[in-house]
Homo-oligomer: A and B are copies of this chain.
Amino acid sequence: MSNQPAQPRDAAAKPARERVVIIGSGFGGLFAARKLARTDVDVTIIAKTSHHLFQPLLYQVATGVLSQGEIAPATREILRRQKNAQVLLGDVTKIDVEAKTVTSQTPVGEAVTSYDTLVVAAGAGQSYFGNDHFSEFAPGMKSIDDALELRGRIFGAFEMAEVLEDPEEIQQWLTFVVVGAGPTGVEMAGQIAELAHSTLKKDFRRIDPTKARVLLLDAAPSVLPPFGAKLGKKAQTQLERMGVEVQLDVKVVNVDEDGLDVIDPDGSPRRIESRTKVWAAGVQASPLGKQLAEQTGAETDRAGRVMVEPDCTLPGHPEIFVIGDMMSLKRYPGVAQVAMQQGKYAGKTIANRLKGGAPLPEFEYFDKGSMATVSRFHAVAKINDKIQLSGFFAWLAWLGVHIVYLIGFKNRITTLMHWTVTFIGRGRSERAVTDQQVVARMALHREKLANEAERAEEEARNVAS
């Protein structure tokens, strides 16, 4: 099957227009598409999910504040009125730079889509630094699936603890470890601590959720390194005030079902018993980056990001833009803002070329600042080197910025309501997990116990004989 331009079946004879193919429906892809709204091109977005994902709020889905729909509007709904854009569901496996085609796995098999201009915005996945087997025990925070899985694990851990008898086992289920003290890790640790120490406080009869331990580990010596030492320290203090145990300079060497093996700053190994682990430690650019590099001789960095030209194109290939978390340029950080601005820039450049205008100036990232919420009413915000906020006013700034960004992404009113429930009432509106998650977890644990019992019996038999 080939997906030639965005023509309805009944209008095959339209004049050929510039075909812009965008890979990915994240911030970069979406903003590039929108910028092309009023231009004479055919835009095709190929993405493996049918939704855009407002990734910076994913931690709130994982911890029961928001529903998945609130941060994942359907891409086609966002682009409904943009008649020159079509969305195709497909997992892109190959880019052929010579033939100018993109191959994707769609529900009906391989589809080959030709492009005149290509915008590669396939983002980055979680990186386990070569230890991919960690992922089973410590899910990352990259997709709706991740968030719902973690929601099931976090709320499920308290349910498990409630039915157990052995104090050690109970503590194992009531210990939560977040690996990685960047914004996502800090936000997750803060949310889990709030859950345990206030939301769930009175929900159980046998366990005391306030006795849950929440650990935040990082191999680096500080929390939120990009925010600078001062704000990092403030965030750390606030986390510790909430009962989060911040352990820095600690290297994770293994993760298994029951816990983690770490190396302490003094080089000594230590075991942490914990049933629920969250991985927020590293990212790895989409493998499409490496593919592009191999075909064009472009360079990639350790995280698989493609080094791009100052105009966000691939060296020697002005028709290919690589933007967002997949590219490396002037040490710009892997944040939504960069992707959005590069998306807009790519769109603008494409439109400008069509008009035959003079080349646009190089891409310059305008850093509007970064922020991370630590707890309700408490955030850190770095606007620039001079303006740095922490505490309530930083939190208000966080709230304002997110409300503004969510406009245009629908659902802003329900999101506000869910936030009201959480921030004022300390409640969680979205605790529901599927039976599959609950039943599967129960069955798994029973099986494990049965296996252990069998092994113990066998050992006893061996000793006896």
Which residues in A have some Cβ–Cβ distance to B below 8 Å? 1, 3, 6, 8-9, 48-51, 64, 67-70, 72-74, 76-77, 80-81, 86-91, 105-109, 111, 143-145, 148, 155-156, 159-160, 162-165, 202-206, 410-411, 413-414, 417-418, 420-421, 427, 429-436, 438-439, 441-442, 445-446, 449-450
Minimal Cβ-Cβ distance residue in B for A161: B107
Cβ B148 vs Cβ A108 within 8 A: no
Minimal Cβ-Cβ distance residue in B for A75: B203
Q: A69-B67, A202-B81 are in contact. Are A51 and B429 (CB under 8 A)?
A: no
Cβ B418 vs Cβ A145 within 8 A: no
A335–B76 CA distance with the chains assembled, in angstroms = 38
- Highest count of chain B CB atoms <10 Å: which of A156, A204, A411, A420: A411
A339–B430 CA distance with the chains assembled, in angstroms = 25
Smallest beta-carbon distance A417→chain B, Å: 4
A74–B428 CA distance with the chains assembled, in angstroms = 10
Q: A48-B439, A88-B162, A163-B88 are in contact. Are A69 and B445 (CB under 8 A)?
A: no
A294–B176 CA distance with the chains assembled, in angstroms = 46
A72–B160 CA distance with the chains assembled, in angstroms = 20
- For the complex with contacts A145-B435, A414-B414, 14 further pairs of A-B residues with Cβ separation under 8 Å are A49-B435, A50-B433, A50-B438, A51-B432, A67-B70, A69-B430, A70-B429, A74-B432, A80-B203, A89-B159, A89-B438, A89-B442, A108-B164, A414-B421
Cβ A163 vs Cβ B439 within 8 A: no
Cβ B69 vs Cβ A427 within 8 A: no
Partner among B70, B413, B433, B442 whose Cβ is within 8 Å of the Cβ of A91: B442
Give the 3 A-B CB pairs with smallest separation, nearest first. A67-B67, A69-B430, A72-B432
Partner among B51, B143, B417 whose Cβ is within 8 Å of the Cβ of A414: B417
Chain B residues in 8 Å Cβ range of A165: 1, 108
A148–B9 CA distance with the chains assembled, in angstroms = 32
